[in-house]
Amino acid sequence: MKTLRIATRKSPLALWQSEHVADRLRALHQGLVVTLVPMSTRGDEVLDRSLAAIGGKGLFLKELELAMLREEADCAVHSLKDVPMELEPGFAMPAILERADYADAFVSNAFDGIDALPTGARVGTSSLRRQAQLRALRPDLELRDLRGNVNTRLGRLDAGEYDAIILACAGLQRLGLDARIRARLESPYWLPAPAQGAIAIECREDDLSTRELCAALDHAATRTCVEAERGMNRALHGSCHVPVAAYARLDGEHLRLDGQVGSASDGRAVRAHGEGRGDAPECLGIEVAQKLLEQGAGEFIADSLGDVGDQD
Ligand SMILES: NCc1[nH]cc(CCC(=O)O)c1CC(=O)O
């Protein structure tokens, strides 16, 4: 009997996502045996130093990719927003699943939203994108670092270290924690990370049978949108990670992309959008990146770490 082994990180969210993909593959392919291969990655283990210091976003993927190269696993499941803009050579992404809730969540035990926070309130997030947007909206807030998986972060909020924290709605919903969402931070008020809410499957490029099994889960409209968002991000800064937010939606043939780059330190930000047909999403991403650069986005782009501070 054919078996498919999914390499996965061990955080509750990563395991949920991998189980979800496993269930969908079993339902699609009668008789296919799907197993999980849980692994620890360097990105999970090193919580005391900045991720920039130990090598960046790819750290969450590297061990999983090595397991695929050693043929101990056939594929890996990722939150696409945590996948570097350029895949490692020799790997492919046969499926991007239909996007769940794209929005960020405002989470607090005392306040209903960003506007309701008192002057100087302490807000926890290590994501430069979230920090930049908070600074732009509320320069008075005290932004504090907050890393760890979703449950760790909620625990620190409940312990009183913060007045509010920002998380992804999709992660909370997948873990059955929807009730913690006090407000959805939606476009155009607030923009998500490129590809937020989308799950991707990665496998070896030459493994045609795995590619074919997984391709059945690909969602074309989601792929179009995230290609525009990731195309914009790639055109802005290549491989480093910066306070970049992007959100695309496809309405029939019509694709619209909104992008923002900001400064986490002083709250300045530039914003642009573009519209086109859905058949060249990456070109639209490049066009919006160009507009952002014309407005001075380059100034905010340094070798920093985007959403990876809020890893899960
Ligand atoms: N950066 C960590 C991360 N990667 C993906 C999600 C949520 C799920 C998703 O975006 O699909 C999260 C948690 C968060 O940002 O709160």
The CATH number for 157's domain is: 3.40.190.10
What integer is the mean pLDDT of 109-122? 98
Residues 71, 203, single domain; the answer is yes
Residues 34, 73, single domain; the answer is yes
Structural domains in the chain (count)? 3
Q: Does any domain span residue 191?
A: no
Least confident of 35-39, 97-101, 208-212, 296-300: 296-300
Residues 25, 91, single domain; the answer is yes
Residues 150, 42, single domain; the answer is no
CATH number of the domain within which 297 lies: 3.30.160.40
What is the side-by-side strand order in the sheet with 199-204?
A: 33-39, 3-9, 75-79, 199-204, 91-96
Residues 209, 244, single domain; the answer is no
Q: Does any domain span residue 243?
A: yes
Query: Which of ligand 1's atoms lies nearest the C-alpha of 170?
Result: 8
Residue 303 annotated among the catalytic residues of the structure? no
pLDDT at 106 over 80: yes
The pLDDT confidence band at residue 54, using thresholds 50, 70 and 90, is very low
198 alpha carbon to ligand 1 midpoint, in Å? Answer: 9
Q: Does any domain span residue 190?
A: no
2 alpha carbon to ligand 1 midpoint, in Å? Answer: 32
Q: If you count them, how many residues does the chain have? A: 312
Residues 90, 124, single domain; the answer is no
- pLDDT at residue 107, rounded to an integer: 98
Residues 131, 8, single domain; the answer is no
Residues 119, 206, single domain; the answer is no
- Point out the catalytic residue in the list 74, 82, 104, 307: 82
Please indicate, yes or no, whether the overall pTM of this predicted structure exceeds 0.80.
yes
Q: Does any domain span residue 144?
A: yes
Q: Does any domain span residue 145?
A: yes
What integer is the mean pLDDT of 142-161? 96
Residues 95, 177, single domain; the answer is no
Task: Give the residue from 183, 182, 168 showing the smallest Cα distance to 311.
Answer: 168
Residues 18, 94, single domain; the answer is yes
pLDDT at 36 over 80: yes
Residues 73, 132, single domain; the answer is no
What integer is the mean pLDDT of 196-224? 98
Q: Which among 13, 125, 225 is the best mutation to test ligand 1's pocket, defined by most ligand atoms within 8 Å of the CB?
A: 13
Contact assessment for residue 83 and residue 202, using Cβ atoms and an 8 Å cutoff? yes
The pLDDT confidence band at residue 303, using thresholds 50, 70 and 90, is very low
The pLDDT confidence band at residue 43, using thresholds 50, 70 and 90, is low
Give the E-state strand segments of 131-243 in sequence order: 142-144, 164-168, 183-185, 199-204
Give the domain range for residue 275: 232-305
Query: Which of ligand 1's atoms lies nearest the C-alpha of 80?
Result: 11
Q: Does any domain span residue 311?
A: no
For the chain, helix, strand, coil in percent to 5 are 40, 25, 35
Pocket of ligand 1 (CB under 6 A): 79, 81-82, 150, 167-168, 170-171, 196-197, 307, 310-312
Residues 245, 294, single domain; the answer is yes
Task: Give the residue from 273, 276, 279, 278 showing the smallest Cα distance to 232.
Answer: 273
- pLDDT at residue 162, rounded to an integer: 98
Q: Which among 77, 81, 177, 230 is the best mutation to test ligand 1's pocket, defined by most ligand atoms within 8 Å of the CB?
A: 81
Cα separation, 64 vs 44, whole angstroms: 12
Which tokens belong to 35? 């197993």
Cα separation, 200 vs 84, whole angstroms: 12
The pLDDT confidence band at residue 2, using thresholds 50, 70 and 90, is confident
205 CB neighbour count, 10 Å cutoff = 15
Q: Does any domain span residue 312?
A: no
Give the E-state strand segments of the chain in sequence order: 3-9, 33-39, 75-79, 91-96, 104-107, 122-124, 142-144, 164-168, 183-185, 199-204, 244-251, 254-262, 269-277
Q: Does any domain span residue 82?
A: yes
- pLDDT at residue 187, rounded to an integer: 97
